[in-house]
């Protein structure tokens, strides 16, 4: 959706007028199991932040490359004039990483569709889909709930005849 910013501009010593400036921004989410990441993408200087921290400080280090996959696939020039801020909560470390990368990929596709061109969006989408479908499509698998009569969802207690 389009977000607006309100600026207060002094017109006289008593009255103030409010001017609404439409900011070109999109919000997209990514999910993996119980982790949800929301990416806010707008025009800017190429800043990429996760929960307020630069993306190069994402933990664990071994999965940091996973977060940067959309940037590495599309090239840094696609992100050069965009600010992407991502909030993530829920789930574990790995699930959060996968939710972040999905939110980032969906945000860039959405931004290019809305504010650049449909052709550029289709190119980006094709590159991302060819590499990994989970960058744009959520994984519907969830943890199956435990049932009675056994220690887990499917396993049953051992049966004894005597």
| Averaged pLDDT for residues 4-18 | 51
Is 122's pLDDT higher than 80? Answer: yes
Is 6's pLDDT higher than 70? Answer: no
Is 21's pLDDT higher than 90? Answer: no
Per-residue pLDDT at 162: 82
| Averaged pLDDT for residues 122-127 | 94
Is 22's pLDDT higher than 60? Answer: no
The alpha-carbon radius of gyration of the chain (Å, integer) is 22
pLDDT digits (tens, 9 = 90+) for 49-72: 999 999 999 988 999 999 999 999
- pTM of the full predicted structure? 0.80
- The chain-wide mean pLDDT, for the chain, equals 87
Report the length, in residues, of the chain: 162
Is 4's pLDDT higher than 80? Answer: no
Is 40's pLDDT higher than 80? Answer: yes
What is the torsion angle, in degrees rounded to the nearest 10, for the CA atoms of residue 124, residue 72, residue 78 and residue 61?
A: 120
Alpha-carbon torsion (151, 155, 161, 162), positive or negative: negative
Per-residue pLDDT at 8: 53
User: End-to-end distance of the chain based on CA atoms, in angstroms?
Assistant: 67
| Averaged pLDDT for residues 92-99 | 94
Is 16's pLDDT higher than 80? Answer: no
Max CA separation in the chain (angstroms): 95
Per-residue pLDDT at 24: 86
55 close to 103: Cβ distance less than 8 angstroms: no
């Amino acid at each position: 959706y389009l977000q607006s910013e309100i600026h207060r501009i002094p017109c006289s010593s008593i009255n103030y007028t409010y001017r609404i400036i439409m900011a070109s921004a999109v919000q997209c989410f990514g999910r993996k199991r119980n982790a949800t990441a929301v990416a806010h993408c707008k025009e800017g200087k190429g800043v990429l932040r996760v929960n307020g921290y630069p993306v190069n400080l994402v933990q664990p280090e071994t999965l940091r490359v996973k977060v940067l996959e959309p940037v590495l696939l599309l090239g840094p020039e696609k992100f050069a004039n965009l600010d992407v801020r991502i909030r993530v909560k829920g789930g574990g470390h790995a699930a959060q990483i996968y939710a972040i990368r999905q939110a980032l990929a969906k945000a860039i596709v959405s931004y290019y569709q809305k504010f650049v061109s449909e052709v550029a969006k289709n190119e980006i989408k094709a590159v991302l889909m060819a590499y990994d479908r989970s960058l744009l499509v959520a994984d519907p698998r969830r943890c199956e709930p435990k049932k009675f009569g056994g220690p887990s969802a499917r396993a049953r207690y051992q049966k004894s005849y005597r």
